[in-house]
A and B are shown apart, each in its own frame.
Chain A
Amino acid sequence: MNSFSKDTFLTTEEVARLLGLPEVTVQRWEHQGKIPYKIINGQVSFKKSEIIRWAKAHDLTIREKHGKSKDLISEHLLTDAIVAGGIYHNIDGDDVYTVFHNALNNLGFIDKKDHDRVFDELLNREELASTGIGNGIAIPHTRNRLDLNLNYAHVAIIFLNKPLPFNAIDGKPVTVLFMIFTTSVKEHLKMLSRISFVLQKSQLKEMLAGDIEDQNLITQIKQIESDAR
């Protein structure tokens, strides 16, 4: 290889990816002499700098990073979020205000100074529509996405001391809260579909109703989440 040239050479496939086009199109352009190429060792090669100049001259968009990385969402989104958020027992309170207040005091990942904002936003959301999704479970979350300095989703599972009237869809009082904090719409959407999937499993419904070790619960959720994929 020529050691002077710092140019990288690309294959047809790489050029296609760079320009966001099907490989066959690049091949056709090469046959029709529309795109500059070289033959190196009998192989069609494209000089990267030349292709970029050519694309600019023809007003074609170049994808600087091949296959733009989508927001990375963990395989075990819910499990990771629960591990980060924690599981809490015996949270007391006769109404939603007290319960939310007591719950927040337990959540170490939320800064004290943010408590008031989070509290208001949680209630704000409940006023629009109850997050009680039936079977004694609710999924409270803030109405607007607050900047809480979280790098990824946190879910706190909160077991209540006594059943709380929550205006849920099935009218049953709530005993477990899945309090959700997400960092983007994408993550929120993914989280909703994971929770929906996990909570439909009957073994989990039973576990939440009964007495269960935290570690077991997490293992179980991780197992179900793996099956989901």
Chain B
Amino acid sequence: MHVRDQGYRFWSDLKQLIINSDEKFKLGFIGFIVGVTSGLASVGLNNGLEYLRNIYDSIQHDWLIVILPAIGLVLTVILLKYVIKDFEGHGLPEVIYSISLKGGMIKKRSAYSKLLGSLITISFGGSAGPEAPVVVSGSAIGSNIARFFRANEKIRIAVAGSGAAAAIASIFNAPIAGIIFTMEVIIGEWTPIFLLPIAIASVTGTEISRLLKGNQIPFTHELLTVQTNDILVSIVLALLCALFSVLFIRLIRNLSSWLDRFFKNPIIKAISAGLVIGLITLFVPYVKGEGYIFVHNIISGNFSAGIFFILLIILLKIFATSATLGAGGAGGVFAPSLVIGSSTGLLFYTFMQNFFPDFSLSGAPLFALVGMAGLLSGTLQAPLTGIFLIIEITGGYYAILPLLLVSFLTSAIVNRFEKQSIYHYELVRKGQLHRPRTDGKILSDINPRELLEKDPIVIYPDLLISELIPIIKKSKRNYFPVVERENKTFLGMVYFNDLKEFIFDSTLVNSILVEEVMHVDITTISLEDSLLEIQSKFERTNSWSLPVLEDDKYLGLISKATMLDLYRKELKVQTDI
């Protein structure tokens, strides 16, 4: 008993020490822990996928291949919706949302829910990537470790981002891509203080995966030389990448709502979508799962096919991924983007070979690599992530020119049609995406309650104007909310300005009631209104002060001046990051 007490004392002392330690040390230390845990999560999921893939590959019966995706989807839906109860969304947007609006708070069960879900979905043949679940899990682990050490909002955000970085870094053995993915997609801001824990986590995550799985480059290939011709035609490849990116983004977004319209029951939806995916897999097996092996084959030059078959693979992969995720499967679009991207590169190369055989080009693997970067730039709106991932995968800068060209061209063209990436679209639509220090972020941080002014004197409709005069003398303001005497229901506003022309008429003021001089067509604010809405109400009504109601009851006033005051203070506090 005594020994256990001492042991407990040691741990709680250590925790206290870290809680009270220097901020930079704390960031680094938590970043390290997050790197280890996220790295383990990623290796665990990948080992699980590999193990189950071997079982899947030994399947002899066609009918099993057809029904397995449906079983996987149903199991995933049951597990996430009814057992763990963490079903909504495909993961990454929630991480971005929590960093954007909730100060990096992520619920504990997210640390394993999507991980388990994606293991089932993918290994049963559904088409989805394991990256997003690992990122969600890494971020959730990071966020909860930060909470354990009572870290503030800034550290929580940095550490949740660290989890994401470590996840990508350890999956692809690509530490820089991990850092850049986090900055570009998850946090969306390049701040030095965020970089420290993110870099530490990225390095740790990579090292964990190297220790456990060896320092292997996931997509091996032969070294290639890049010629001027390759760079020139890359411009056309960018167009192709943009086309498939837009198609992918739109189908992902729309297929899920179409499915919802046809199938009210989530289980029936999962079965129907799963059977279609199963049938596709039977004839075109390249679309199943996360597709790492298929990508590997393309890049190493071990896969070739006719133009139409490659085009078919691309379209079916886009469809199968949209169907898997739309029907409730767990997983992300990162790996599918790599499959579509490398196939796009192969498609382009095969096309050039067939129609312009004299035009000398480097080889299919180069275009497959560049196509992958193109698709990542297009679907995730993350050109830098695409570039650095490919650089780290290929282990060299030789492909940098076509990479830069295709990535930024694709990203620019896609941006013309789709303003937001797959991850951000939903959040932007719901108004839930706010980058730090932006107007929207500051306005969304402030709650209407913080602005509530209770000092205005409330008056009643049955008062005579003569009875109002002493109240006006006492008041610091020149407007008065009118409420019902008994139940405080808001009725209207009286403005001194309206009264000043007859308030000195000592006879008239004894005959006029408050109720007949109050304005009733007043725009009111509810506590649920966001500051953005309140701001627009001020602009619309051109007023300086509006009443706040809750269930028709008067609570107080909000005025523009207080809003500006708090806005500036909030801005100063946020600039601290």
Q: Chain A residues in contact with chain B, CB under 8 A? A: 20, 61, 68, 128-135, 139, 141, 143, 169-170, 185, 188-189, 192-193, 195-197, 200
Enumerate chain B residues within 8 angstroms of A129, measured Cβ to Cβ: 464, 510-511, 513
A61-B540, A129-B464 known; A139-B511 Cβ under 8 A: yes
Taking a contact as CB atoms under 8 Å apart, the answer to whether B510 and A169 are in contact is: yes
Taking a contact as CB atoms under 8 Å apart, the answer to whether A193 and B511 are in contact is: no
Q: A169-B510, A189-B517 are in contact. List 6 more A-B contacts (CB 8 A).
A: A134-B507, A141-B516, A170-B507, A185-B517, A192-B512, A193-B502
A128-B462, A196-B505 known; A189-B498 Cβ under 8 A: yes
Instruction: List, sorted by A's number, 30 A–B pairs whose CB atoms are closer than 8 Å.
Output: A20-B542, A61-B536, A61-B539, A128-B513, A129-B464, A129-B510, A132-B511, A133-B507, A133-B510, A133-B511, A134-B507, A141-B516, A143-B516, A170-B507, A185-B516, A185-B517, A185-B518, A188-B516, A188-B517, A189-B498, A189-B517, A192-B501, A192-B502, A192-B508, A192-B512, A192-B517, A195-B502, A195-B508, A196-B505, A200-B505
Taking a contact as CB atoms under 8 Å apart, the answer to whether B511 and A169 are in contact is: yes
Enumerate chain B residues within 8 angstroms of A197, measured Cβ to Cβ: 501-502
Enumerate chain B residues within 8 angstroms of A131, measured Cβ to Cβ: 511
Chain B proximity of A205: nearest CB distance (Å): 12
- Bound Cα distance A77, B518 (Å): 20
A185-B517, A185-B518, A185-B520 known; A196-B511 Cβ under 8 A: no
Q: Is B519 an interface residue, CB under 8 A from the partner? A: yes
Enumerate chain B residues within 8 angstroms of A170, measured Cβ to Cβ: 507
Taking a contact as CB atoms under 8 Å apart, the answer to whether B501 and A193 are in contact is: yes
Closest to A132 in B: B511
- Range of interface residues on B (Cβ < 8 Å): 20 to 34
Enumerate chain A residues within 8 angstroms of B536, measured Cβ to Cβ: 61
Which of A133, A189, A193: most chain B CB closer than 10 A? A189
Taking a contact as CB atoms under 8 Å apart, the answer to whether B508 and A133 are in contact is: yes
- Which 3 A-B pairs give the minimum distances between C-beta atoms? A193-B501, A196-B502, A196-B505
Q: Mark B419-446, 1 if CB is under 8 A from A, else 0.
A: 0000000000000000000000000000
- Bound Cα distance A122, B59 (Å): 90
Q: Mark B452-492, 1 if CB is under 8 A from A, else 0.
A: 00000000001010000000000000000000000000000
Enumerate chain A residues within 8 angstroms of B507, measured Cβ to Cβ: 133-135, 169-170
- Bound Cα distance A190, B501 (Å): 8
- Bound Cα distance A197, B500 (Å): 12
Enumerate chain A residues within 8 angstroms of B510, measured Cβ to Cβ: 129, 133, 169
Closest to A200 in B: B505
- Bound Cα distance A61, B541 (Å): 11
- Bound Cα distance A20, B542 (Å): 10
- Bound Cα distance A200, B539 (Å): 40
Chain A proximity of B540: nearest CB distance (Å): 7
Chain A proximity of B515: nearest CB distance (Å): 8
- Bound Cα distance A192, B520 (Å): 18
Which of A68, A135, A170, A196: most chain B CB closer than 10 A? A196
Enumerate chain B residues within 8 angstroms of A20, measured Cβ to Cβ: 542
Taking a contact as CB atoms under 8 Å apart, the answer to whether B508 and A185 are in contact is: no
Closest to A170 in B: B507
- Bound Cα distance A14, B519 (Å): 32
- Bound Cα distance A197, B515 (Å): 22
Which of B499, B516, B520: most chain A CB closer than 10 A? B516
Enumerate chain A residues within 8 angstroms of B505, measured Cβ to Cβ: 196, 200
- Bound Cα distance A131, B511 (Å): 5
- Bound Cα distance A28, B515 (Å): 46
- Bound Cα distance A197, B505 (Å): 8
Taking a contact as CB atoms under 8 Å apart, the answer to whether A196 and B508 are in contact is: yes
Closest to B508 in A: A196
Enumerate chain A residues within 8 angstroms of B540, measured Cβ to Cβ: 61
Enumerate chain B residues within 8 angstroms of A61, measured Cβ to Cβ: 536, 539-540
- Bound Cα distance A128, B511 (Å): 10
Chain A proximity of B413: nearest CB distance (Å): 20
Chain B proximity of A180: nearest CB distance (Å): 10
Enumerate chain A residues within 8 angstroms of B515, measured Cβ to Cβ: 143
- Bound Cα distance A180, B499 (Å): 18
- Bound Cα distance A75, B544 (Å): 28
Enumerate chain A residues within 8 angstroms of B519, measured Cβ to Cβ: 185
Closest to B519 in A: A185
- Bound Cα distance A192, B519 (Å): 15
Enumerate chain B residues within 8 angstroms of A134, measured Cβ to Cβ: 507
- Bound Cα distance A193, B465 (Å): 13
Closest to B532 in A: A59
- Bound Cα distance A110, B74 (Å): 72
- Bound Cα distance A227, B511 (Å): 25
- Bound Cα distance A170, B508 (Å): 11
Closest to B465 in A: A192
- Bound Cα distance A97, B127 (Å): 84
- Bound Cα distance A128, B465 (Å): 13
Enumerate chain A residues within 8 angstroms of B539, measured Cβ to Cβ: 61
- Bound Cα distance A127, B53 (Å): 87
Chain A proximity of B9: nearest CB distance (Å): 56
- Bound Cα distance A193, B500 (Å): 8
- Bound Cα distance A20, B538 (Å): 13
Enumerate chain A residues within 8 angstroms of B516, measured Cβ to Cβ: 141, 143, 185, 188
Enumerate chain B residues within 8 angstroms of A141, measured Cβ to Cβ: 516
